[in-house]
Amino acid sequence: MMKKELEVPYEAHSVKTVVEDANPFRAEDFAALRSQLRAFHPDECHGRCKDPSYAEAEKAILQDLATYAESHPGYDALDLRRECYLSMRRHFVPFLFTESPFYFEAGVNGGWIMGLAPARGVNRLCQKFYKEQSLVPDEEFRILGARNREALALCCGPFSDDMHHVPPLRTILAKGFGGVRADVAAALDKCPEDDPHGRKQLETALVGLDTIREIQFAFARRATEILAGGNLDDAVRRRMERIAECARRCPWEPPKTFFEGLNTLWFVREILGYVDGVCIFSLGRPDAMLIDLYEADLAAGRITRDEARNLVARWLIHADAHLDTNRTIDSYSDQEAEIPMSLGGCDADGKPVWNELTEMFLDAHLGCDCVFPKLHCRVGSTYPKPYLRKIGELLMKNHAVFTLLNDDRFVRQYMDEGFSPEDARSFIGCGCWNGYIDSVMDVDGANYTSVIRILELTIHRNPQLEKELRLSLDSIDGAKTFEEVEEIVFRNFMRFFRDVISTYTRYGGVNAKVFPHPVYSVCLRGGIETRRDTTEGGVASRPRIMTLGFIGNAVDSLCAIRQLCFVDRTCTLAELLDAVRSNWDGPRGEELRAAALRAPYWGDGGEVATGMMSRWMRRIHDEIDGFRNDQGGLYRLAIYAYREFMYWGHKTKATPDGRHDGDRLAQGFSPSEYRCKEGITTVINAIGELPHEALYASNANLSFEKESMSEATWEAVLRVFAQKGSHMMQPNCNSVEELVDAQTHPERHQNIIVRVCGFSARFVSLSKRWQDEVIARHRLA
């Protein structure tokens, strides 16, 4: 095959990148691996893996914990964590696959199976402390649950998010788990006598780190057993020999080869998820983190490009096979594996990362027809043309698997917060979205509140529900001016928002007594020095992110009230509220709804809606500025949405923006699907007018009309998006016609992957209602 050279206009790794004319990756070449992994992993995201030996080991560990707890009634959470580590040494099962060159599989999907993971047994046994130690009143648990059920607030854990953690990849790549252990041992020798809790934290972490070493050795022993069994073809034998050799050393020691580096990224995610029960939601930045190892291997003749491509493809397929991406998606968390990786961006010196590995991973993701891992590609206004056009190429091929994170915003934001340039430039995408600095930060990131639900309850009064949810809402019925209406709604929201924040601050720290993470904590900056867990403020940075859900609908609703009742005087406030309360079915319902849909709206580029969105963002930021969370960090704002835009919409009655009862809500910064009539330029410019410095993160789910786009157009769109200063975009690029045809002839369109919200999916795997929702989205042209 003829080869060509890509000229890269800056000094970086691989100034001339050799690539093939056509994508060398074919999904059928890796069918055997995919078949083995699918036979092991559950079909859905939260299930137990299918190998019965995992369930047996889990049962044995939980029984060991129960026995210890019964015989030691005075135990605390660190006692149980230590015993859990020791039991894992006895019962851990290493899973290897003859078609995979890697060793890391523990059966817990990075901790994402949560309630089934053995490390979570510590949490279950320590939950009695809530009552025994009066950690949280029952009434607060009731209100927390009620606000979630009523689509008003959501926290991914009891009073703190314990689902989204940032991996310590830079730490382990630099010093290995053995280096961390040496640092912990040195700190233990110097631990003051008057800090028994700190001593116990470090001692427990040492037991956990030694357990990780034993787990690593278990993979080496298992590979040796497979080799001794004989009847292996040459490829399988080479894989097992390499595992038997490497697993005796890495990642207890730092990786020395590209293969070991790839394996380490998975090992950190899976084994920390196993031993500490934390959900590690990232595979890091393989193109930036491993390029030196890759180029050294090439130079030394340890690897060929074909061998590297094979490794990369199998590495990706491990993520994609964690669940069955052909199963129908209809409910809240169907097909959510939470396995993201990051590509592109810049290196520690600020030079753009666009190298042979970047292109290799993108080509492999497309060629192997992967939905997972989620691709978090870092973009910037000055980044190389081939890179930005490569993203456009995949989007034009219906491979919408991207969250695009804006380096122009994130890097500057982190430097403004006092992080070093090297740290700021090293951030990675985690979870569904958002960028965090690995090895430095832990995060409390999934805390949703619904701005529009407060406005809706202000209109559709329900005293009994307000009491159940502990809400204090003033009525807008008698307001004489629009300014009065807006101020009442704002104050209603802020009373609710402050109550949520104060509750989280008061009770968020209970996890330190219920579910500590000793090994994970000492792998993060500050965890060793403070001798404190991340759950009790022991790491360098742990902000708490509060999401302003569906603020776009609130802005649209207020714009409609302003226009109809106080500018055009189409109706009185009472008449408009009556129409909304009747679900637009009153005497003037359809007339007033039509007028509401003609009013200014967020995303139209006008001063009214853009000014109102900016004003609300700034005011909410200023109201909570300086508030400290239970870890001593700051509360920060975000605007994004997961599937709540559909499911919380079901709970939300008609609103003045023209929504009917139960209609879906706006997605993050995206203009409402009921309102938007604008093109690419208007919407991106509107987003660019906002005070993004008031936010920690934001996301716009935007659909683009394919006929209006090209790779060159995508390059321009991404550069302008970056210049405008927003945080993230999740794009789709398709036409209504091809999606409608996919509904009718799914067999023709198996490879169409669409971005639904914080996840992507095969369009033909979506249920009819989700397909209809994606089809109905406004397409920018």
CA distances from 274 to 84, 109, 121, 401 (A): 11, 9, 11, 27
Whether residue 251 has a cis bond before it, omega within 30° of 0: yes
Residue with tokens 């129960």: 66
Dig out the tokens for 84 from the structure.
């859990």
Provide the pairing of β-strand 697-705 with 728-734. parallel
How far apart are alpha carbons 248 and 217 in whole angstroms? Answer: 6
pLDDT of residue 10: 31
135 backbone φψ class: left, alpha, beta (φ>0; ψ -120 to 50): alpha
Q: Identity (one letter) of the amino acid at 665?
A: L
Q: What is the largest CA-CA distance in the chain?
A: 86
- Yes or no: say if 126 and 72 are a contact pair by the CB < 8 Å rule: no
Q: Identity (one letter) of the amino acid at 536?
A: E
Dig out the tokens for 20 from the structure.
């093939």
Helix axes 573-581, 589-598, angle to 10 degrees: 110
Dig out the tokens for 489 from the structure.
């709604």
pLDDT of residue 20: 41
How far apart are alpha carbons 386 and 127 in whole angstroms? Answer: 53
Strand-pair partners of 766: 329
How far apart are alpha carbons 450 and 454 in whole angstroms? Answer: 7
In this structure, the number of other CB atoms found within 10 A of the CB of residue 138 comes to 9
Strand-pair partners of 428: 436
Helix (H) or strand (E) holding 436: strand 435-437
- Yes or no: say if 444 and 631 are a contact pair by the CB < 8 Å rule: yes
- Beta strand segments in 275-401, E: 340-344, 374-379
How far apart are alpha carbons 524 and 514 in whole angstroms? Answer: 20
Dig out the tokens for 327 from the structure.
């199963």
pLDDT of residue 778: 94
- In whole numbers, what is the pLDDT of the chain averaged over residues? 94
CA distances from 580 to 150, 587, 656, 672 (A): 20, 11, 6, 18
pLDDT of residue 21: 44
pLDDT of residue 22: 63
Helix (H) or strand (E) holding 80: helix 77-91
Q: 456-501: per-residue pLDDT in tens?
A: 999 999 999 999 999 999 999 999 999 999 999 999 999 999 999 9
CA distances from 424 to 164, 166, 218, 358, 691 (A): 20, 14, 37, 20, 20
Taking alpha carbons only, the member of 381, 491, 498, 522 closest to residue 449 is: 498
Q: 539-592: per-residue pLDDT in tens?
A: 999 999 999 999 999 999 999 999 999 999 999 999 999 999 999 998 999 999
Q: 699-718: per-residue pLDDT in tens?
A: 999 999 999 999 999 999 99
Degrees, nearest 5: CA angle 568-573-577: 125
pTM of the model: 0.95
Q: Any idea how long the chain is? A: 781
Taking alpha carbons only, the member of 91, 80, 88 closest to residue 204 is: 80
How far apart are alpha carbons 34 and 587 in whole angstroms? Answer: 60
- Yes or no: say if 471 and 483 are a contact pair by the CB < 8 Å rule: no
Helix (H) or strand (E) holding 492: helix 482-507
Enumerate residue ranges in the chain where pLDDT < 70.
1-22
Dig out the tokens for 123 from the structure.
């949490």
Rounded to 5 degrees, φ, ψ at 580 are -65, -45
pLDDT of residue 333: 86
Provide the pairing of β-strand 544-549 with 635-639. parallel
How far apart are alpha carbons 226 and 582 in whole angstroms? Answer: 69
In this structure, the number of other CB atoms found within 10 A of the CB of residue 720 comes to 15
Sign (positive/negative) of CA torsion 57, 61, 66, 68?
Answer: positive
- Cβ-Cβ contacts under 8 Å for 390 (sequence gap 6 or more): 359, 362
- Cβ-Cβ contacts under 8 Å for 296 (sequence gap 6 or more): 302
Q: 217-247: per-residue pLDDT in tens?
A: 999 999 999 999 989 999 999 999 999 999 9
* Half-sphere exposure in the Cβ direction for 719 (13 Å, CA): 15
- Yes or no: say if 226 and 96 are a contact pair by the CB < 8 Å rule: yes
- Yes or no: say if 382 and 42 are a contact pair by the CB < 8 Å rule: no
How far apart are alpha carbons 365 and 373 in whole angstroms? Answer: 8
